[in-house]
Structures are given as structure tokens and as C-alpha cells.
Amino acid sequence: MSAPKWCPSLSLAVDGQDGAYVIEAAPQADGPGRRSVEALAYDRKPVDDDDDEDEGWVWRALAPPPYVREPGYGDDEGGRSGKITCHAAEGARIWVSTAGRGTYSLDTASDAWTKAGDWALPFRGRTVPVPEHASRLWFGVSASNAGKICASNLHAAANEGRAPAVDQVWDGFAVPEGFHDLEPHSYVVHLGDGRLCVAKFFETTRQEADDDWTCRRCCHGYVSECAFAMFTGVEVEPGAGRWHRLIRHRSLRYSLGTDRVPVSVL
């Protein structure tokens, strides 16, 4: 990368393109040593290029979302209102939704940002469209309840200039009792043919001791003991009208050990 990224950061792949996009979850205006958005792309040399340098992978800095230049941004505890709470990629567009600055899309063909509205998407973490079904619904972890999966028609809302409504909700995706849900680290991954993988991350915690080093502001006096990942396979079946059936398959839990809290899933 041309500049280091603050943790957490988001990584996304775009249909029909090689490489990936990396976006800081709390983007800031570009400055010395600061690039909040970058793209990794393969630089193919023209046939008639006499340059001795070989073709290869290169990082390209892109403009951050426009709201980072709005007056007062960054004054609310480091830009909390602009923190990206939900993200997705569809076609040539990347969508990001914030806690208090609305929802934006990045056209990766022109590198231009567009504001979709002052509303937030009803998801948290990564959400995905399921193009196999005519309803064009998007699926993701519910923003109001991390133990549920919900579906919403983002395109209809964006075309009508309104906040997207939740069309359907499914229970059964809460982390096991006694564990702490790492809410920002929730992902729904599209596997194709109407199949999805729901990835949830959680941990066990304990009350900090006097000799523990922890940030009381963000950790609230608790120390992570062990982190886990839970992957659940689901299948979307079209039903009557716009209603769908979500078939939940088996779940697998993996221990990530201590000090290994993940920040992204590709």
C-alpha cells in the first residue's frame, strides 16, 4: 500500500475486476502518510511500451468519501458519525453506509463517489445481493439485532430516494450464550446459486486485573481471553411473491486463540 491503514479496515472485491479495494472503516481526508481508500490492480503494460519495468500489481490511491471534507467532521470523537457500519460490492459499485453521514456508493469505473441518501442501510458488517432471484434482495446481519439475518431491496429504495425497508427477517444466528458478539465483525458472503455463508466472530472475556493493560474507553474494563469464528451455511429459496425461504445448514466453530481478533474476511 502507499500508506498504512488504521484498524479496522474493509476489503472488497469487485465483479469482473482483478485485485481488491481497501477502505478504512473510519475514513479521513488524505494527508501526509494518510490514504483512506486504495485499490490494488494489475498494471498491464501496452505491447508497444519500451519501459524496462515489468508489469505487476500496484496500489492506487482513491479519494475518500466526500463527507470527510464536511465542516465539523472528525470533531465527534474522531469522526464516529462517519464510521462505516455496513459495506457491500455489486457490479462495478461499492456501497458504504455510515452511522450518521448517510449512504454512499463508489463507481469503480470512474472512481467517483455518489451520495445515495441521508439514510443508513438496515445491515451491519458486509451485506450481499443475491442476483439469482428476480426480487434483487440484499441479505445481511440485521443492524438492530446481530442474531438475525434480514433482507432489503436497496435498488428500489435508492431509485425512489427513500430509506430501504426490511422485507424479511430470520432468527437463529446469535452467538452461543456466554460469549461476547464482536458486532462489527459480521459478514454475509455470497457463494453463488442462492447459497450464502454467514460469518460471525465472538470472544470470551474476563474482568481486567490491576496488572492488565487495556483501553478502558473502548474495552470497558474487560480483557479478551479467546476469539472464535462461526460459519453457517444458508440457502435462499424463492417463495410466493417477494417472500423467500432461508434454509439454515450446519454451523462450524473455529478457535482463533488469543490476540487474534480478525478484522476482515475475503
- pLDDT tens column, 256-266: 776 654 444 44
Least confident of 52-56, 233-237, 262-266: 262-266
More confident residue, 114 or 175: 114
Give the pLDDT band of residue 72 (cuts 50, 70, 90).
Answer: confident
**Looking at residue 218, what is its pLDDT?**
47
Q: For 223-233, b where at least 16 C-beta lie within 10 A, e where not — what string?
A: ebeebbbbbbe
Is residue 168 scored above 80 in pLDDT?
yes
List, for residues 205-214, the tens digit of each pLDDT value. 665 555 544 4
185 — pLDDT class (breaks 50, 70, 90): confident
To the nearest whole number, what is the mean pLDDT of the chain? 80
Q: What nine digits make up the cell of 42?
A: 494489475
Distance CA 240, CA 233 (A): 23
Q: Which amino acid appears at position 248 of this protein?
A: R
Higher pLDDT, 205 or 96: 96
Of 71-75, 210-214, 219-223, highest mean pLDDT: 71-75
User: Which single residue is written with the C-alpha cell 440485521?
Assistant: 142
Residue 73 Cα distances to 26, 163, 236, angstroms: 11, 23, 40
Residue 241, burial from CB neighbour count under 10 angstroms (0-12, 13-18, 19+): exposed
Residue 81, helix vs strand vs coil: helix
pLDDT at 201 over 90: no
Q: Is residue 43 predicted with pLDDT exceeding 70?
A: yes
DSSP string, 149-176: EEEE-HHHHHHHTSPPPEEEEE---PPP
Query: What average pLDDT does this structure show over 44-71?
Result: 77
Query: Band of the pLDDT at 33, cuts 50, 70, 90?
Result: confident
Residue bearing the bigger pLDDT, 115 or 157:
115
**How many angstroms separate the CA atoms of 135 and 123, rounded?**
18
Q: Note the pLDDT of residue 22.
A: 92
pLDDT for 102 equals 92
